[in-house]
């Protein structure tokens, strides 16, 4: 699904990503750990095609197409979606209006989608204006539910979310990635689980999100290099015990 | 400021006939009035007033709570009215007020009677019909104690490319605990020069809400209406949405004097200069404490437009709370990208942001006017790319 080959990215001539190689297959969810300033958000933005980042070397392939140089909206139309950590507010654009835009020509039931993420009261408010951390996350997820991407980039789904909301955000992130299949007479659960195959690349600081979503692999991004491929819970345990110090050793 | 050569315009000789039935007006006229907020079908209106060139052409009230009269007649009927004319606006202010004082063509006098709460808006249209016409209007609005009204005051030319000049004096009296919403829609043309001169006062517990919308080109418009919050606890709010396309020069703003305790005001303007020039002013003067004022000016630049924002806060007593925020620039890249990651291309994203920027939901306008303005906004948007 997504293949990143030897990706080098700079901002204002300062190299941030220094040769990233990563493959995420269909239906796979990958967790990305890393300290502040390691380049996690840069990687997500570069895959999405936004921000003032310059790809100096390497390429990004999505379903075999080279998307390294195409604009963000073309990537979105190919099925890449993103939940932003701090999206801007837009005066006069109601949440409802944006969710409709996300759905494009697909018919959607906005009210019932909004009910799922407890956002009914926000539909007629300007998007993100005065939203709390948890409200922003729920609004981002609502937009993605309408957009129905088959590859989701999640920038810190748990940041700024209070304890009460983390379960809801986690459950909805899971639903976005895995769908919400229920057994029926025609198909087995096994079949259903494989009909909707959404992949994901999720940045997390705290790892709380791992309590809710089933991740296949974890990586650590450190100083622009990707290292340490392992079970995400094991990586998290290790980071909680030893911090990122060990990564330095790994990379030298 | 760009001066006007008044000698180019004809300030006499263009009387107009009385209109018996608004429905029988030409479609073109009805349409341009509609774009200025005047519905010739008069559905859901408390009163209507039309002035064309140099004469009032229609004047009718449908609600016993509101009296509406052409200026000349009103001055004859109400002896005291003369004291209210040129009471707030100084006739010696400039050449435009002097001209209007010497030679007025008419205007409306609206009196919303004590305690009357009008459910339907009052509408007026000041129209310029003849090529090269110069129009001097003087309006007086009195909202008596405890009364409540919404006035839709539209200004328009019949033809988009017509040459014309409009001088409009308006004096507002909002009495104790009264509430006035005054919505002014300008639908001028590329060759029209405009000098409104308005002053109002709001007494204790009164509310003055002002909406100003100008989406069409205008050659040269300058106005700086002033509202004095004269009585304790009175409140005012000003919302403006203006667009200046190429060839348009607008120097506009609101000035509010907080002259009694517990008065508040909020001035919010959204301006787009798409090839045109806007001087966006704002001035809050607080003479007494406690008072509170906030000034907000958001400006978007497109197609080499110019916006010069001049916000002024003038605190004259300790304990006043005055604040302002102003931002002028192009459409934020973060906002465009946010919409692009949802699948909108750059042009779709920009026009969505512009439509939001010009949003008029907050103004509480009647639905048919909103629909008309939404169409006009869509049209304006298209002209920007």
Q: 3-state SS of chain B: helix, strand, coil percent to 5?
A: 20, 45, 35
pLDDT per residue over B250-291, tens digit each? 999 999 999 999 999 999 999 999 999 999 999 999 999 999
Weakest mean pLDDT among A138-142, A161-165, B8-12, B327-331? A161-165
List C-alpha distances in Å: A9 to A5, A69, A84.
12, 13, 20
The CA distance from B70 to B139, in Å, is 9
**pLDDT (0 to 100) of residue B324:** 96
Put simply, the answer to whether A76 touches B337 (Cβ < 8 Å) is: no
Residues of chain B in contact with residue A67, where contact means CB-CB under 8 angstroms, are none
Q: What is the percentage of chain A residues whose pLDDT exceeds 70? A: 91
pLDDT at A189: 60
Is the pLDDT reported for residue B232 higher than 80? yes
pLDDT at A190 over 70: no
Q: How confident is the model at residue B158 (pLDDT cuts 50, 70, 90)?
A: confident
Contact B341 A82 (CB under 8 A): yes
Name the phi and psi angles at B338, rounded to 5. -60, -40
| A4-51 pLDDT tens trace | 999 999 999 999 999 999 999 999 999 999 888 889 999 999 999 999
For range B147-165, the mean pLDDT: 93
Band (B117; pLDDT cuts 50, 70, 90)? very high
Q: Domains of chain B: which residue ranges?
A: 6-331, 332-385
Contacts with A81 from chain B: Cβ below 8 Å: 341
Q: What is the pLDDT of residue A41?
A: 93
Contact A114, B362 (CB under 8 A): no
- Residue ranges of domains in chain A, CATH in brackets: 2-86+149-251 (3.40.50.300)
What tens digit of pLDDT does each residue of A150-177 get? Answer: 999 999 888 888 888 888 889 888 888 8
Which residues in chain A are contacts of B361 at CB distance < 8 A?
92
Residue A246: pLDDT band (50, 70, 90) is confident
Q: For B361, phi and psi rounded to 5 degrees?
A: -55, -40
Minimal C-alpha gap between A89 and chain B (Å): 8
Residues 6+ apart with CB under 8 A from B81: B74, B75, B109, B140
Query: Which residues have C-beta within 8 Å of that of residue B20, sequence separation ≥ 6?
Result: none
Per-residue pLDDT, averaged over B171-175, amounts to 98
Packing angle between helix A133-147 and helix A163-178, nearest 10 degrees?
10
Probe site for chain A from B342, B347, B348, B358 (most A CB atoms < 10 A): B342
CB proximity B83 to A under 8 Å: no
Q: Do A88 and A128 form a contact (C-beta atoms < 8 A)?
A: yes
Q: Is the pLDDT of residue B1 over 60?
A: no
Residue with tokens 């080279």: A66
User: Which residues of A, range 98-157, sit inside 8 Å of B by Cβ?
Assistant: 98, 101-102, 104, 126, 143, 147
Please answer whether residues B159 and B73 qualify as being in contact, where contact means their C-beta atoms are separated by less than 8 angstroms: no
What pLDDT is recorded for position B385? 80
d(CA B4, CA B92): 17
Per-residue pLDDT at B177 exceeds 60: yes
- pLDDT at residue A235 greater than cutoff 60: yes
CB contact under 8 A, B346 and A82: no
Determine which helix (DSSP H) or strand (DSSP E) holds B335, and give its type and residue range: helix B333-340
The number of beta carbons lying within 10 Å of the beta carbon of residue A73 is 21
- Which residues pair with residue A107 across a beta bridge? none
DSSP summary character for residue B127: E
pLDDT bin (cut points 50, 70, 90) of residue A195 is low
A77 → closest Cβ in B270, B334, B343: B343
pLDDT at A188: 67
Encode pLDDT of B294-335 as tens digits: 999 999 999 999 999 999 999 999 999 999 999 999 999 999
3-state secondary structure of B28: helix
Q: What is the pLDDT of residue A193?
A: 57
Q: Among partner residues B337, B344, B357, which is closest to A92 by beta-carbon distance?
A: B357
Over residues B217-242, the mean pLDDT reads 97
Q: What is the mean pLDDT of residues A59-84?
A: 96
Q: Give strand ranges (E) for B158-262.
A: 164-174, 179-187, 192-202, 207-214, 220-223, 226-229, 235-245, 249-258
**B352 interfaces chain A, CB cutoff of 8 Å:** yes
Q: What percentage of chain B carries pLDDT values higher than 70?
A: 99
Q: Does A50 touch chain B (CB under 8 A)?
A: yes
Instruction: Please give the Cα distance from A167 to B115 (Å, whole number).
Output: 54
Contacts of A106 (CB under 8 A, 6+ apart): A146, A148
Average pLDDT, chain B: 95
Q: Do B343 and A51 touch (CB under 8 A)?
A: no
pLDDT for the residue numbered A153: 96
Torsion of CA B11, B16, B18, B24, to 10 degrees: -130
Residue-wise DSSP of chain A: -EEEEEEEEEETTEEEEEEEEEEE-TT-EEEEE--TTSSHHHHHHHHHT-SS-EEEEEEEEETTEE-TTS-HHHHHHHTEEEE-SSPPP-TT-BHHHHHHHHHTTS---HHHHHHHTT-GGGTTSBTTTT--HHHHHHHHHHHHHHH--SEEEEE-TTTT--HHHHHHHHHHHHHHHH------SSS-HHHHHTTS--EEEEE-SS-GGGGTS--SEEEEEETTEEEEEE-HHHHHHHHHHHTTHHHHHHH-
Mean pLDDT of A225-231: 86
The rounded distance, in Å, linking the Cα atoms of B253 and B251 is 7
Is the ipTM value over 0.95, yes or no?
Answer: no
Whether residue B83 has pLDDT greater than 80? yes
Banded model confidence at residue B345, pLDDT cuts 50, 70, 90: very high
| β-bridge partners, B10 | B133
> What does the pLDDT look like over B42-71, one tens digit per residue?
999 999 999 999 999 999 999 999 999 999
Q: Give the confidence band of B141 by pLDDT, cuts at 50, 70, 90.
A: very high
**Cβ atoms of B286 and B293 closer than 8 Å:** yes
Q: Is A79 on the interface with B (CB under 8 A)?
A: no
What is the sign of the dihedral through the CA atoms of B7, B13, B18 and B23? negative
What confidence score (pLDDT) does residue A178 get?
83
Q: Which two tokens stand for residue A11?
A: 């901002």
Tell me the C-alpha distance between B39 and B48, whole Å. Answer: 9
Average pLDDT for chain A:
90
């Amino acid at each position: 699904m997504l293949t990143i080959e030897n990706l080098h990215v700079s901002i204002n001539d300062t190299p941030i990503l220094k040769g990233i190689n990563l493959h995420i297959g269909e239906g796979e969810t990958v967790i990305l750990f890393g300290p502040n300033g390691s380049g996690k958000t840069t990687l997500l933005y570069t895959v999405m095609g936004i921000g003032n980042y310059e790809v100096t070397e390497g390429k990004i392939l999505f379903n075999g197409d080279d998307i390294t140089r195409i604009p963000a909206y073309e990537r979105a139309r190919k099925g890449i979606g993103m939940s932003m950590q701090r999206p801007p507010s837009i005066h006069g654009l109601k949440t409802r209006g944006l969710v409709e835009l996300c759905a494009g020509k697909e018919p959607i039931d906005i009210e019932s989608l909004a009910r799922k993420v407890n956002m009914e009261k926000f539909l007629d408010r300007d998007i993100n204006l005065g939203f709390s951390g948890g409200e922003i996350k729920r609004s981002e997820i609502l937009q993605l539910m309408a957009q129905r991407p088959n590859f989701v980039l999640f920038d810190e789904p748990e940041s700024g979310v209070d304890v009460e909301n983390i379960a809801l955000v986690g459950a909805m992130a899971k639903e976005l990635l895995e769908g919400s299949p229920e057994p029926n007479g025609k198909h087995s659960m096994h079949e259903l689980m494989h009909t909707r195959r959404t992949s994901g690349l999720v940045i997390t600081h705290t790892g709380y999100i791992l309590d809710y979503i089933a991740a296949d692999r974890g990586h650590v991004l450190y100083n622009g290099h990707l290292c340490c491929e392992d079970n995400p819970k094991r990586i998290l345990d290790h980071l909680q015990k030893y911090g990122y110090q060990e990564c330095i050793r790994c990379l030298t | 400021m760009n001066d006007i050569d008044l000698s180019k315009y004809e300030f006499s000789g263009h009387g107009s006939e009385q209109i018996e039935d608004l429905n029988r007006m030409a479609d073109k006229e009805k349409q341009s009035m509609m774009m200025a907020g005047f519905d010739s079908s008069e559905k859901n209106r408390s009163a209507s007033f039309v002035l064309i060139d140099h004469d009032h052409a229609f004047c009718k009230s449908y609600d016993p709570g509101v009296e509406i009269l052409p200026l000349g007649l009103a001055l004859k009927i109400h002896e005291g009215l003369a004291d209210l004319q040129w009471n707030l606006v100084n006739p010696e202010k400039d050449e435009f007020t002097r001209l209007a004082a010497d030679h007025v063509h008419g205007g409306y006098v609206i009196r919303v009677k004590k305690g009357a709460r009008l459910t339907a808006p009052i509408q007026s249209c000041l129209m310029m019909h003849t090529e090269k016409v110069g129009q001097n209007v003087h309006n007086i609005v009195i909202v008596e104690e405890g009364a409540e009204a919404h006035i839709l005051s539209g200004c328009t030319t019949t033809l988009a490319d017509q040459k014309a000049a409009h001088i409009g004096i308006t004096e507002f009296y909002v009495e104790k605990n009264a509430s006035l919403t005054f919505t002014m829609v300008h639908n001028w043309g590329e060759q029209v020069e405009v000098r409104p001169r308005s002053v109002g006062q709001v007494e204790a517990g009164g509310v003055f809400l002002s909406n100003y919308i100008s989406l069409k080109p205008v050659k040269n418009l300058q106005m700086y209406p002033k509202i004095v919050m004269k009585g304790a606890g009175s409140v005012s709010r000003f919302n403006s949405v203006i667009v200046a396309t190429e060839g348009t020069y607008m120097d506009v703003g609101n000035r509010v004097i907080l002259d009694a305790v517990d008065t508040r005001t909020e001035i919010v303007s959204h301006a787009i200069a798409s090839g045109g020039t806007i001087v966006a002013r704002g001035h809050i003067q607080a003479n007494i404490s406690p008072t509170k004022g906030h000034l907000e000016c958001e400006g978007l630049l497109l197609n080499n437009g110019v916006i010069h924002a001049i916000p002024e806060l003038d605190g004259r007593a300790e304990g006043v709370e005055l604040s302002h925020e102003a931002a002028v620039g192009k459409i934020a890249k973060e906002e465009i990208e946010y919409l692009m990651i949802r699948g909108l291309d750059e042009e779709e994203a920009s026009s969505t942001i512009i439509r939001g920027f010009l949003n008029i939901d907050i103004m509480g306008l009647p639905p048919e006017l909103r629909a008309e303005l939404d169409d006009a906004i869509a049209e304006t948007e298209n002209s920007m790319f």
